Amino acid sequence: MRIDIITAVPDLLESPLGHSIIQRAREKQIVEIQVHNLRDYTKDKYKSVDDYAFGGGAGMVMTIEPIFNVIEKLTAERKYDEIIYTSPDSEKFTQKIANNLSLKNNLIILTGHYKGVDQRVRDHLITMELSIGDYVLSGGELAGAVITDAIVRLLPGVLSDETSALTDSFQDNLLAPPVYTRPANFKGWKVPEILLSGHAEKVEKWRLKQSYDRTKKIRPDLLKDEGFGSMKDEG
- Could you tell me the pTM of the whole model? 0.86
What pLDDT sits at residue 233? 46
> Does the pLDDT value for residue 235 go beyond 50?
no
Q: What is the mean pLDDT of residues 1-11?
A: 97
The closest alpha carbon to 146, from 97, 207, 77, 210, belongs to: 97
Q: Are 3 and 33 in contact (CB under 8 A)?
A: yes
Share of the chain above pLDDT 90, in %: 82
Q: Please state, in angstroms and rounded to a whole number, the distance separating the CA atoms of residues 143 and 145.
A: 5
pLDDT at residue 104, as a whole number: 98
Domains in the chain, ordered, with CATH?
Answer: 2-152 (3.40.1280.10), 169-231 (1.10.1270.20)
Burial of 107 (0-12, 13-18, 19+ CB in 10 A): buried
Q: What is the pLDDT of residue 171?
A: 63
Residue 159: which pLDDT band, with cuts at 50, 70 and 90?
Answer: confident
pLDDT the model gives residue 102 = 96
Amino acid at 217: K
pLDDT of residue 176: 87
> Contact, 178 vs 218, CB < 8 A?
no
Return the H-helix or E-strand segment holding 185.
strand 185-186
- Cα dihedral 36→42→48→50 (10° resolution): -80
pLDDT confidence tier of residue 224, bands split at 50, 70 and 90: confident
